[in-house]
Amino acid sequence: MSEELSNLTRIAKSAIIENVFSKRQKEVNEMKPSKLLGVLMASILTLGITSAIVYYDNINKKNEIVLAESLMDPATMNDKMVDNEITSTPEVEVKEERIEVYEGMTYDELVEKLNRTLSSDLTNMGYAYATYSLELGVDPYLAVAISMHETGCTWNCSYLLKACNNVGGQKGEGCGSYRAYDTLEEGIYGFIANIKNKYVDYGLYTAEEMNPKYAEDPMWASKVNNYIEKIRNN
């Protein structure tokens, strides 16, 4: 009994399917060619879009895998670091401002120029002459020229310089009738301060103007000026 019922069920299902297929076939046959073509084109377009989406989705997945692998590759990472270094914005070099302090020279250039004339015990004391002359408003060439003339340091410095650190023949106490200083640098400062206080402050700026008050020798200014020319040409 159950077997007969099963057979009847299969027969019924087959009949239903044939009926549906027959109706669908009839609908298709009755369609106008233009409508049938539209349905066909829509089906093809849908199939194409679906295939394209699947295709590009697969490509993107592959690209993501390749990118991830390249990022984890030390060689690739090093290349990227090198590229970043090469393409990075170069640092802008900042040039130091040139500050001229005397006759178009910077402080360092002035010190170097004075040192080319200073010799014997005054060797390399250009920084002291430059510093204190500029600080006190005295011509550095004039200060060095007077020292070189008064001490004889072109050859061998005088006893007054060696024993008393007196670089300008200043009168005073501590070294007979002359002024004594504890160090050579103190002596240079005291000498330049003396020029400022007793000459420059009274409007006496040149060797010619200073000569009558500084020395009894009428040729003193000429001798000092010879040293000034030597300094300027060194």
Residues 93-119 have pLDDT tens digits of: 778 899 999 999 999 999 999 999 999
Look at strands 100-102 and 105-106 and give their pairing: antiparallel
Residues 32-90 pLDDT 10s: 544 545 544 545 544 454 454 445 455 555 555 555 555 555 555 555 555 555 555 66
Is there a contact between 135 and 146 (Cβ–Cβ < 8 Å)? no
CATH topology of domain 101-233: Lysozyme (1.10.530)
User: How confident is the model at residue 91, as a pLDDT?
Assistant: 78
Sign of the dihedral through C-alpha 144, 145, 151, 152 = positive
Q: Which two tokens stand for residue 13?
A: 């299902």
Mean pLDDT (whole number) for 152-180: 95
- Which DSSP symbol is given to 91? P
pTM, to two decimals? 0.61
Sequence letter at residue 46: T
User: How confident is the model at residue 19, as a pLDDT?
Assistant: 57
User: How confident is the model at residue 93, as a pLDDT?
Assistant: 78
Nearest to 141 by CA among 93, 85, 206, 91: 206
Q: How many Cα atoms within 13 Å fall on the side-chain side of residue 192?
A: 24
User: How confident is the model at residue 95, as a pLDDT?
Assistant: 80
- For residue 28, name the pLDDT band (cuts at 50, 70, 90): very low
For residue 128, pLDDT over 90 is answered with yes
Q: Which two tokens stand for residue 86?
A: 């090469």
Is there a contact between 224 and 142 (Cβ–Cβ < 8 Å)? yes
Is there a contact between 107 and 130 (Cβ–Cβ < 8 Å)? yes
164-191: b (≥16 Cβ within 10 Å) or e: bbbbbbbeeeebeebbbbeebeebbbbb
Residue intervals in the chain for CATH 1.10.530.10:
101-233
Max CA-CA distance within the chain? 160
- For residue 20, name the pLDDT band (cuts at 50, 70, 90): very low
Distances (CA, A) of 10 to 18, 21, 22, 156: 12, 16, 18, 137
For residue 206, pLDDT over 90 is answered with yes
Gap between the Cα atoms of 227 and 156, Å rounded: 16
Q: Return the residue matching tokens 């250009």.
A: 126
What percent of the chain has pLDDT above 70? 62
Nearest to 121 by CA among 149, 148, 87: 148
Residues 33-43 pLDDT 10s: 445 455 445 45
Candidate from 77-86, 118-127, 161-170, 219-228 with smallest mean pLDDT: 77-86
For residue 230, pLDDT over 60 is answered with yes
Sequence letter at residue 149: H
User: How confident is the model at residue 8, as a pLDDT?
Assistant: 47
Q: Which two tokens stand for residue 107?
A: 């402080």
Candidate from 64-78, 112-126, 130-144, 165-179 with smallest mean pLDDT: 64-78
For residue 11, pLDDT over 60 is answered with no
Is there a contact between 207 and 224 (Cβ–Cβ < 8 Å)? yes
Is there a contact between 143 and 196 (Cβ–Cβ < 8 Å)? no
Q: Which two tokens stand for residue 209?
A: 């103007």
